[in-house]
Amino acid sequence: MMSIKIICSIVIIGCSTILGFRAANRYVQRVKEIRMLQMAFAQLESEITGYSTFLPEAVSGISTAVRGGVRNLFSDFAGRLQNKTGDSVAEAWQESLEKCQELLNLYPEEIQILAAFGGVLGSGDKESQRRYFSIVQNQLKKQEIKAEEACLKYQNMCRSLGLLGGLAISILLF
C-alpha cells in the first residue's frame, strides 16, 4: 500500500513539474518568436527595398529561414499571395495572422503590431516601405524588452511553482 502512495506521489510531482516547465517555456518561446519576427522583417525589408524582389517570392524565402509558428505564418502568407487568395496583400496577411495566431506564443500587443503592419505592407513606394519596416522593428524591439523582463521574472517562478505545487498536492493527499 505504501509503495502505491509513493508511486502516485512521484507521478503527481513529475506531472506538475512538467506543467511548470511548459509554462516557463512559453515565456522563452515568446522572446524567441519576437526575435525571429525582427529578423524576418529585416530580411523582408532588404528583399523588397534593396533587391526589388516581388513580395510572394520574398515572403516564401523568409518562410524557409524561420521556425515554428513564425514559419507557419509566413508560409501561409506566401501561399495566399502566390494563389492570389484574398482581395489585397493586407487581407491575405490578416487571414494568415488569424489562422496562425494560436500557433504563436505572442501577446495581443504583438499581434496588433503585426496586424497593423499587414495593413501597410505592399502599399506605397520604397521609402515609405522603409519607414513602415523601421516602425515595426522599433515596436517589436520594445516588445522584446518587455518579453525578456517577463521571462526573467516568471520563468523560474513557473518552474518552482510546478515542483512545489506537486509536492503540496502529494503531501495533502497522503
Distance, CA of 46 to CA of 41 (rounded, Å): 9
Q: What is the pLDDT of residue 111?
A: 97
Asked whether 72 and 36 are in contact (CB, 8 A), the reply is: no
- The angle, 0 to 180 degrees and rounded to 10, between the axes of the packed helices 126-173 and 108-120 is 160
Range from 62-71, 91-100, 122-131, 134-143 carrying the lowest mean pLDDT: 122-131
Distance, CA of 19 to CA of 159 (rounded, Å): 8
Q: In degrees, to the nearest 5, what angle opens at C-alpha 34 toward C-alphas 30 and 35?
A: 115
**Global pTM value:** 0.90
Q: What is the pLDDT of residue 2?
A: 86
Look at residue 1 and tell me whether its pLDDT is greater than 90.
no
Band of pLDDT at residue 34, cut at 50, 70 and 90: very high
| Cell representation of residue 117 | 503592419
Look at residue 85 and tell me whether its pLDDT is greater than 80.
no
Q: What is the pLDDT of residue 84?
A: 83
Q: What is the pLDDT of residue 53?
A: 87
Instruction: Give percent of the chain with pLDDT exceeding 90.
Output: 84
Mean local confidence (pLDDT), 21-30: 97
Q: Give the CA count within 13 Å in the CB-facing half-sphere of 27.
A: 19
Asked whether 105 and 26 are in contact (CB, 8 A), the reply is: yes
Look at residue 96 and tell me whether its pLDDT is greater than 90.
yes
Q: What is the pLDDT of residue 50?
A: 86
What pLDDT digit, counting tens, does each position of 117-163 carry?
Answer: 998 987 888 899 999 999 999 999 999 999 999 999 999 999 999 99
Q: What is the pLDDT of residue 155?
A: 96
Inter-CA distances, 30 with 25, 96, 114, 145, Å: 9, 19, 14, 11
Mean local confidence (pLDDT), 11-34: 97
| Cell representation of residue 64 | 524557409
